[in-house]
């Protein structure tokens, strides 16, 4: 079976799809002798700034790692605070997303959240579904390994039922079973706070993405930081395994 050609991107092009691991809220708060929730509140403000900046800078898709499937291991009070902030973000930002023509997408096992939050997310997705502008993707209760396993099971079930020849499963077919199937390939993945790991985020999608690790804590991330990241991206030569 021939491998799928790697994606091509002209050297002069900016990234169409940028993803960010938003890290450092707790350290931001600790450095200021504040409770962790204060860092998370400032992190929400950073989400507002960066989502607006992404539109200004011409990014077609912005994917934000908001809550991982591993984050349930945090203290229950902190998890409750994070879910409350998510409710507040949806309630306060939805009108602007509609006004700006932004489509909202959510990936991950978010339907396992509380019923009222699921209803809010469903309503926000439906209200923005026809918007013609850029896409804001929120990874919520998301884990890349679980996403890959789910895709593999889905294809295995189709093969079991005679709907799919296993020999036809290639990179393109597998990608079609992922939650990001209809999005542009991931071009740039940024992690804030100086940590240098992917933390179970977009593992398949990051295969040919440029990785950028910045020391800025997420609550301090803004349009200038994002613009600087895009400038670094523009200086890189993306060979996709070629010369």
Which residues does the annotation place in the binding site? Answer: 23-28, 36, 40, 68-70, 72, 74, 191, 197-199, 210
Spatial contact of 20 and 186, defined as CB atoms under 8 Å apart: no
Catalytic (active site) residue 95 = no
* Residue 235 reports pLDDT greater than 60: yes
* Residue 4 scores a pLDDT above 90: no
| pLDDT the model gives residue 9 | 42
> For residue 167, is pLDDT > 90?
yes
pTM of the model: 0.91
Q: Please report the pLDDT score of residue 94 as a whole number.
A: 94
Binding site as annotated, residues for substrate: 24-28, 36, 40, 68-70, 72, 74, 191, 197-199
Angstrom distances, CA of residue 63 to CA of 22, 27, 105, 208:
10, 22, 9, 16
pLDDT at 243: 56
* CA quadruple 144, 148, 150, 154: dihedral sign: positive
Over the stretch 18-61, which tens digit does the pLDDT of each residue have? 999 999 999 999 999 999 999 999 999 999 999 999 999 999 99
Strand ordering across the sheet containing 210-213? 103-107, 135-142, 61-68, 17-21, 188-191, 210-213
Domains and CATH numbers, the chain: 22-235 (3.40.1180.10)
Position 163 scores a pLDDT of 96
Indicate the average pLDDT of the chain: 93
Residue appearing with tokens 């009108």? 95
- Categorize the per-residue pLDDT at 237 as very low, low, confident or very high, splitting at 50, 70 and 90: confident
Where is the binding site for Mg(2+), in residues? 23, 210
Beta-sheet strands, E only, within the chain:
17-21, 61-68, 103-107, 135-142, 188-191, 210-213
For residue 238, the model assigns a pLDDT of: 81
pLDDT of residue 171: 95
- The reported pLDDT for the residue numbered 239 is 74
User: Known catalytic residue: 141?
Assistant: no
pLDDT over 80 (residue 13):
no
Span 142-154, average pLDDT: 97
Look at residue 3 in the predicted model and tell me its pLDDT: 46
Q: Which of 82, 83, 104, 84 is nearest to 93 (CA)?
A: 104
| Residue 103 confidence (pLDDT) above 70 | yes
Helices (H) and strands (E) in the chain, counts: 7, 6
Once rounded to an integer, what is the mean pLDDT over residues 119-144? Answer: 96
Assess whether pLDDT exceeds 50 at residue 1.
no
Catalytically annotated residue among 71, 81, 200, 222: 71
């Amino acid at each position: 079976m021939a491998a799928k050609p790697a994606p091509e991107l002209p050297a002069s092009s900016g990234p169409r799809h940028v993803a960010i691991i938003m890290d450092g809220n707790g350290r931001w708060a600790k450095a200021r002798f504040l409770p962790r929730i204060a860092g998370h509140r400032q992190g929400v403000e950073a989400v507002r700034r960066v989502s607006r900046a992404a539109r200004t800078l011409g990014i077609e898709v912005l994917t934000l790692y908001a809550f991982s499937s591993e984050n349930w291991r945090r203290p229950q009070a902190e998890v409750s605070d994070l879910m409350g902030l998510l409710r507040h973000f949806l309630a306060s930002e939805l009108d602007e997303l509609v006004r700006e023509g932004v489509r909202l997408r959510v990936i991950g096992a978010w339907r396992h959240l509380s019923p009222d939050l699921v209803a809010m997310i469903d309503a926000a997705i439906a209200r923005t579904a026809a918007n013609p502008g850029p896409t804001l993707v929120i990874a919520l209760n998301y884990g890349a390994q679980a996403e890959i396993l789910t895709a593999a099971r889905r294809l295995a079930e189709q093969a079991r039922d005679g709907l799919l020849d296993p020999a036809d499963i290639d990179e393109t077919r597998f990608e079609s079973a992922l939650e990001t199937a209809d999005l542009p390939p991931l071009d740039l993945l940024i992690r804030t706070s100086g940590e240098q790991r992917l933390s179970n985020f977009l593992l398949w999608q990051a295969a040919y993405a440029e990785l950028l690790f910045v020391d800025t804590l997420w609550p301090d991330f803004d349009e200038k930081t994002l613009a600087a990241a895009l400038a670094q991206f523009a200086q890189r030569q993306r060979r996709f395994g070629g010369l």
